[in-house]
Structure formats: structure tokens, C-alpha cells
Structure 1
Amino acid sequence: MMRAWTLAILFLLCGSVVATGLIFSRGLAAAVALLLVFVLLAVVHSLLVFPRSIGASEAERRSAVDGRPVVFWRSGCKYCLRLRFRLGRSARELHWVDIWSDPAGAAAVRAVNDGNETVPTVVVAGRPYVNPSPEWVREQLRPSA
């Protein structure tokens, strides 16, 4: 679980160091502004922007019941961030599995990606799709007519 927070912690630490240096050279206002940028980067690259992750087996079970896609992701992945932000509120309707906190999820992703942990991998009706467009994923949430 700590690996998922590493990038966010690094952003906070670097921002703190740089802001401390700015306090002495350019003043408090510049330091606070820069620190806020680093805090924003830390939040965006943390687990906080994603819906709560569940285990791969639970996600597969829920998907079988409600037909919603399962998204395998990891923190720090720019493609996962793009998918999450472009889905907007629709992201809450998906089943999210963090492959860094769920070994079964990581194994499932490796099984469909030639041994690589390529994310986001979206599974719809048992079929995997690697890095699909957010629009396509949103369409999968609509009930078929």
C-alpha cells in the first residue's frame, strides 16, 4: 500500500524543500503559492482522486451482477488519471481495482497483457481492453437499447 502513496509523498517533500528555500529568497507569498502547486500535484497523483478500490475477485463478482466494467489501474499512471478525469462523475459507476494493492488484480492484468502490468485495463463482459478511450468506457455504462 505504501508504494501507491510514494509519488504523492515525494511531491509533498520536494514542495516543502523548495518552498522553504523560497521563503528566504522571495518571501512567504511565493513560497505558499508554490507549495500549493505541489500539494495539488500530490493530491492528483494519490489514491484520493480515484473511487475506492476493491479486490479483483469482488470486482468481477459485482460486474457479473450489474454488468458494469472493471477498471484495473495504479497510482501515478497518467493514462489512468486521464481516464478518471475524463469520465467525471461516471467514474463512480465503474469497479476500480488498484493493481498495486491487489496481487490478484496485478496477476489478472499480466495475464491479458503478455506479462506486462499495462493499465488502465478495462474488462467489459469478461473481455479486456487496454487503455480504451474515456468516451468508449462511458458508452459501456449506458444500457443497451
Structure 2
Amino acid sequence: MTTSENKAALTVYSTTWCGYCRRLKTQLDEAGIEYKEIDIEKDPASAEFVGSVNGGNHIVPTVLFADGTTATNPSLAAVKSALSL
């Protein structure tokens, strides 16, 4: 369930064509975990951020947690663990 509020527990950086992104978003939706989604192909600053946390590579999905940590292509279990769920 995407949210436009800044209160989302995490931000998912994605693209429209990314199968791994679709899978993660579906799993987050099914688990009831709110997130903000940003398409890095429509937001150059977000693409730059994703590259900065992935050694210059624009790898999606990249997840940014509220505490400032990131995860690249995480499993749902890894997201839940990071959120202490």
C-alpha cells in the first residue's frame, strides 16, 4: 500500500519494468507494510541517490528505511527484520 505521507516506514526506489520491484511491492502490500514508491526513471535526484548507495549502479529495488539505512533487492523477511516486525 503506497502512501504519499512522509510517515511511511520505508521508501522503495523502483522502475516500471523491474520484476523484482513488482514482487517486493506485492509482498509489502500483502503484509500491510506502507511504503512510498519513487520511480528513478522519472526522478533524476532519486536515481543519483540509488547510484550513491550502490557503488554507482542504479540497482532497483533499493529500499531506504526511516533510520537512513538502505537495502538493495531485499527479501520481505529482510524488510520485516529491519522494521522489527
Q: Which of the five TM-score ranges fits, normalised by the shorter chain?
A: 0.7 to 0.9
Higher strand share: 2
Structure 2 regions of 5+ residues with no counterpart?
Answer: none
Greater Cα radius of gyration, structure 1 or 2: 1
- Give the distance between the partners of 2:64 and 2:21, measured in 1 at CA: 14
Count how many residue pairs are aligned between Structure 1 and Structure 2. Answer: 82
Out of 60, 67, 72, the residue aligned to residue 130 of structure 1 is 72
What TM-score, normalized to structure 2? 0.79
What TM-score, normalized to structure 1? 0.49
Aligned-pair identity (%): 34
Structure 1 regions of 5+ residues with no counterpart?
Answer: 1-49
Higher relative contact order (CA 8 A, sep 6+): 2
Higher helix share: 1
Out of 23, 35, 56, the residue aligned to residue 94 of structure 1 is 35
- Give the distance between the partners of 1:67 and 1:96, measured in 2 at CA: 10
RMSD: 2.4
| 1:58-137 pair list within 5 angstroms | 62=6, 66=7, 68-89=9-30, 90-91=32-33, 93-124=34-65, 125-137=67-79
Shift of 1:135: 2.7
**Ranges of 4+ aligned residues in structure 1 off by more than 6 Å:** none
| 1:10-49 pair list within 5 angstroms | none
